[in-house]
Structure formats: structure tokens, C-alpha cells
Copies of this chain bind each other. A is one copy, B any other.
Amino acid sequence: MQYTPWTIRSEDFTPEKRQSLGALFLVSNGYFGVRGFVEEDPTGEMGNGCIFVAGVNGDGADKREIVEGKRRDLCNITNVLRLRIAVDGEVVDGIADTTDAYRLLDMKTAVSSRHYIWKNALEVDTLRFADMANVHRIGQRTVLRAQKPLSLTFHALLDSNVYNHNFESCEPMPIQPGLNHIVSRTLGDNRLSTRLDDEDSTTLYAGQQLRLCLNGTPLNGVPYADEMATGRRFDVTMDAGDELVLEKLAAVYTDKECPDAADLLDAFMSTPADYAEAYAAHCAAWEARWAIADVQLDTETDDQTALRYNLFQLMGVCPMHTDRVSIGARGLTGEMYEGCVFWDNEIFQLPFFVFTDPAAARRLLAFRYHNLPAAKRLAAFHWFEGAMFPWESCEKGREQTALDHAYYSIHIVGDIAYAIRQYVQATGDLAFLWEKGAEILLETSRFWVSRVDYSKRDGHYHLFRVRGPNEYDHYVDDNAFTNYLAAENLHIAVDTLTQMKTAAPEQYRALCEKTGFQPSEMDKWNEIAGNLYVAYDEELHLVGEDSTYMDRRPLDLKRAKPTAKRILESGTMTYQMMTFYQLTKQSDTVTLMCLLPEKFTEQERIAAYDYYEPRTAHDSSLSYAPYAWMAARLGKVEQAYDYFKICAYLDIADLKLNTISGLHFANFGGTWQATVFGFGGAQYAEGVLRIDPHLPDTWNGMRYRLCVRGGIVSVDISGDRIQLTADGLTEDLPICVGGQKALLNSELTTAEFRL
């Protein structure tokens, strides 16, 4: 792998790597996820998928116990980028008989390309982009240069010969027989419609517009169709030095997100598309996003590239076109986790959008609002009150995971409340709060009231039998993470409804009517929030991960996890044994203290870090970033940087050997937080923007931007000099840099500090 600040490049086309690189070289635009598959490979072996569309799920290849509905996998849709190349009757598959072969991902323009020379006869360059300016489109440009006289046959196709795989774990595994989910289809010149065998019987409409030129002269070709594919065929005789250029725009609409999908495809097909114009608009859209989201590092390491990769994929995965889908655990990069939405969204990814693309953040939270009725049904199913958001939410808000997860992993409820407050505080978007947020806060508070138990014996409220971020316990009592987030949820709800009564009285009345809310309910909310039990060791100033963690026996982690393999795959311990030891699967209490630093003293945060860090197996990709973040905040910069080297490079270096099954989007968001909140030292709370950077030795400086209260604040750190520049502020923004207070507003746009 070779890096430049904006690109990654790989020359590895070995079968083992081809599929994991297929995930790595993915380009996406929130509607499409287009894996880095080889378009001209005729084996039909699509790696772990070729193209996914957000929210389009077919029947899964296997079923498992779920609360409602059945398992639905993210579908491989029609391959709209299919190429077939043959020279003098011989197939060019993009892999065999190639020299000078490489892939390149340009993150600045979000273009994934390949280059190779076939048998010293044909030079091939091909690129694709998922159009960020018009998310229903994918662009493809292929250049074929003859190095000797040859006869070329070239197909540009829409191909329905795709299938889904069967993932049960995130381990790399050979491709298994999958289900071809396409039930019916219509073949026509450059159009293909297919019906997916999902509960909605989704129909997918795909079309393409082509322009093929030989040395600048357009060629027509002939229509082509076979059992599985449709498109156009070109037979070309080329001399040495001849150049054939295919420019293609493909479009996809489904009647799941567009009731008028057929008409939309008609409109696309009937209006000649200009590839160059589309490409330019796509690049401009990405330029605008990078202008805010980029984090620039002054370093001679590859960290700049690695970090940008994280941000690049986050921007790519975020739905721009709708608030009816959200970001799945593996985004649009693979079938794993069924395209479903976890706490990853609120706790790991959302902050990046809150502070670099607030409109996107609003859509992601609106997704939860739309699923509030489903969350209320889930609560009722379990004999609880209010809204119980599912641990693993399909796009319709239904629980899609095994019952144990569904029932115990309730911190997701508090995570959503936390995210609402973070969004509203950072943006000042009270309209969202009154329209949607308040109702979520109210119904989730009711859930907590019904979920806690009061113990007369100790005078505390408890959350018995929960599964915290440390999923190596079947369940525990009083997981500190869960209890703190639950208490926050209740506090935020009280604050919100109290404020709403006077600030938005009509909406408040409507909400009371809709929900039957009585202000007296808040007495209970306050009582519970103020009295939820958390285990605490006074001597060590140590917050207990749960009620008995500190009493459990120490574990020799080297015995349990002798290699990088996760413990359960190491064959050293059974799942049952794990629950017996001081063993944390992934950052738990430390993540809590990242989220709510003001609730803990520095002594407590240090104690927690020092206690839990050696007890953490990091058997989840969600573990490293919070440790990097917390370590940086505590000034343990060297340790922080060690963790950064894992989380920032997790997928591009395939450190967990499971990139094949999709990219780790929570980790991407965590990496941004570790970088900006950790090393960059940014913290926005209670109306004050605080900056307390702790840069690694190898970084001479860094620059990042934050969207705050409608403005954009640039933070430029260079050695001991910190400069803040604000743009678009309409109100005063108190800032505090290294303890020095100042104010930014529309007049005072710059402030400089020395540490």
C-alpha cells in the first residue's frame, strides 16, 4: 500500500486481498455503496458484494431468533458497472496476465480507479464514482489503449448476476453459496428492472447512458441482452496507439424510496447526460464537504492519509437524500449486520456530523424519531412503558437481533438522548428539539421509569440485568455506563420539557395531548436520575463497571488471549467463564468518561483508565478510539498515539483481518473524536468551546474546523500557538483555550493563544 496525503494505492490483486481491498476501495454517496470490485472479471465472483443501496434489504440467507420480523440482509443490487473485455476472442479479466496493475483511491474527489497493462497489448484505466451531486447516479470512465493492433469486443452492461453471501461472523471466510434475490426482471437496451424478494417486493430500476469514442470519434455499438444482463456491445479494431474511451452514467431508483421510480428512470434516460458535467459537480460537492470536515496534520507520517480515510468513508456513507435510513454498522460495504443501525450511530459517528455537517446529523436523529412508534411497540412487547429503541434497528425501527441483545443492551436508549442534546447544544436547533427531540426524550424517560427497580435495602434505584458496552457479560447489574446515560436521559428530558413549556407553548401543549404527559412525571424522573446506584471504590476513586466487577478475579489476559485473535476464537476460555473475571471486551467505563467528562474528577478518570486499560481485550473495533481519546485528554499522549495508530489504520491496514466483511464505521467516527476531541482537545459544553490540545510528538501541528451555533470555527494548532477563526457566527461564542478565556462573534472573528 502506498500513501500520499490524499490517495491510497495498492498493487495487491492476490485472491486473499482482492476481497478485503474491495471494501477498502469502496466509494459511496449515502445512497450507493460501490465496492472496489473488478468490473471486467467475468467469474461473477463479486467479492463480498458489488453495489449496495441504503435501506434495500432482501431476505437473509439464514434466519435467527428476533423479536419482530425476519432477518433481512443488505442486498447486492444490479451491477450497473459491468464490463466485458475481450481481445482477439480472449477474455481480459483485469487480473490474469496483467502488469503494472494497481488500484488508486483519490479521497479528495472520491474516485476509485484501476490501471493495468494486459499482455503488453492493451492498457486499461478505469474509474468509478458514486455521484455526490446526484446520489442516484454512478459514473464510470474506462480508457483502453492498444499497444499493438488488435480486435476488441467490449460490453458495457447492467448485470443482474449478483448474489448475497451468508455471514455469521466477521471473520474472513470463503464465499458461500448465496441467494440470488432477483425474482423477476425486464431486459431492454440499457435498462433493467428487477424485483427483490423482500417484504416490500421492492422493484429496482437501473439504466445507463453511454458514450464510447475511438480516438475521439463516437461509436454506436449494438444493443446486447442475455439471460442476466443487458446493455451495449462494441466491436472495435484498434491499431497501436489507438485509444478507446467509455464514459458512462448509470442511474438506479427503487420504488421503496421513490414511489415514482419508473418515471424517474424514464426522465434520466430521456435527458442526455453529460459525463464531464456530472463528474465536475460530484467533485465540487466533495470539495465543499472537505472544506469543513478535513483535519489537516502537520506530520511526516502517514497519519494524514490514514485519518482522511476515516473521514472520507464517514462522509460517503451518510445518507444525503432521506432521513428514513441511517448508517449501518458496516455502512454500505457488506452484508454483515444486515445494514442495521446500532449505538455506533449516536455515540461514534454522529459527533462527526454534528460538528461538520449539522444537516446530516439532523437527518440521522430524525431517523430515530420516525422509528419512535416501533420503539414504543418494543417496550410494550417487553411489558415496559415508553420507548425502548432496539439494539439493532432495521430501517423500519424493528429489533433485528437475538433476544438477549434486544432485552439487555438498553444503553442504546440513553445514547440516543445523549446525541439529541449534543446536536441541539452544538447547533442551537430548537426547532428540531420541539418537533422531534422532546417526544423522544419524554418517551425514553418513561422507559427508564419502567425499567428501574428500587431497592429498599440500599435506598437506591438500580438497572438490573443489563448488557453494557462490555458484551462479555451475559448481563450485569448496574453497568455504570448504562446508569449514567439513563440518568442523563432523564435530566435532559426534564430540562427540555421545562424549557419547552415557556419557549414553545403550543408545541408543548400538542405534545402533552399526544402523549398524555403530566408535568408531575418529572418528579419521578428527577428522583431516579439523582439516585441510580453505581459501584464505587472510595479508596481507589474507582467507578465500578458494574456492581460486582471489582470483586471478580483478575485475569491473565496473555493466557486468555495469547495472540491478536479474539478470546472466543482463541479457544482458551468459554463465554461462560469470561463472566467470572475482570475482563472488559471493549472500552466501557472509559467511553462513559469520554462522553460525560464533567461528571468525573480527573482523579476518577485517571483511576478508571489505569484500572480498565489492562483489563480490556479490545475484542471490538469500538474499543481503541475511546482509549486514544481518553489517554490524550489525560495527557498520556504516548499511549494515546499507540491507540490512534490502531484505530486510524484499522481498515486501511486491515489490522483485524476482517475488513473483508466491511468497513468499521463506528471506529471511523471514533477516530475523528480521538483526533479532534482527544489530541485536538476540543470540547463544547454548556455554551463554551474549550480547546486543550495534546499533540503526539510526530505532529507539529493540526487544523480542524467545527460547526458551532451556526458558525464555523477553525482551530489551527502549530507548536504552542493556537489560532481560532470564526466564520458565520450570529451570536457570542465563549471560548477557553488552555485556560485562557475569550469571545468570538461576527465582529471578533479571530483569537490567538500561546500555551
Contacts and interface: CB of A to CB of B under 8 A. Distances in A.
A403 B575 contact: yes
Nearest to A581: B383
A574 B453 contact: no
A579 interface: yes
A457 B542 CA distance: 13
B457 A407 contact: no
B408 A465 contact: no
Contact of A407 (B382, B407, B552, B577): B577
Residue in A408, A474, A574 with the greatest tally of chain B CB atoms within 10 Å: A574
A406 B577 CA distance: 11
Contact of A475 (B454, B462, B474): B474
B407 A465 contact: no
B407 A464 contact: no
A392 to B, nearest CB: 15
B403 A464 contact: no
A357 B202 CA distance: 72
Given A383-B577, A404-B576, A552 B475 contact: no
A551 interface: yes
A464 B548 contact: yes
Interface residues of A, number: 32
A720 interface: no
A661 to B, nearest CB: 24
B408 A464 contact: no
A137 B267 CA distance: 88
Contacts of A403: 574-576
Contact of A574 (B407, B535, B574): B407
A382 to B, nearest CB: 6
A474 B408 CA distance: 12
A477 interface: yes
A246 interface: no
A537 interface: yes
Nearest to A577: B382
A382 B572 CA distance: 10
Contacts of A535: 457
Contacts of A475: 474, 579
Contact of A551 (B407, B453, B550): B453
A252 to B, nearest CB: 40
B474 A551 contact: no
30 contacts: A382-B574, A382-B576, A382-B577, A383-B573, A383-B577, A403-B574, A403-B575, A403-B576, A404-B576, A406-B576, A407-B574, A407-B576, A407-B577, A408-B576, A453-B551, A453-B552, A453-B553, A454-B551, A455-B548, A455-B551, A456-B551, A457-B550, A457-B551, A462-B548, A462-B551, A464-B551, A464-B580, A474-B474, A474-B475, A477-B548
Given A464-B548, A551-B464, A576-B407, A537 B474 contact: no
Nearest to A456: B551
Interface string A536-571: 010000000000101111000000000000000000
A552 to B, nearest CB: 6
Interface string A424-459: 000000000000000000000000000001111100
Interface in A461-485: 462, 464-465, 474-475, 477
A310 to B, nearest CB: 36
A537 B580 contact: no
A691 to B, nearest CB: 40
A574 B404 CA distance: 10
A363 to B, nearest CB: 32
A572 B710 CA distance: 50
Interface string A385-421: 0000000000000000001101110000000000000
What 6 pairs between A and B have smallest CB-CB spacing?
Answer: A407-B576, A455-B551, A453-B551, A403-B576, A465-B579, A474-B474
Contacts of A457: 535, 537, 550-551
Contacts of A456: 551
Contacts of A407: 574, 576-577
Contacts of A550: 457
A455 B544 CA distance: 13
A212 B403 CA distance: 63
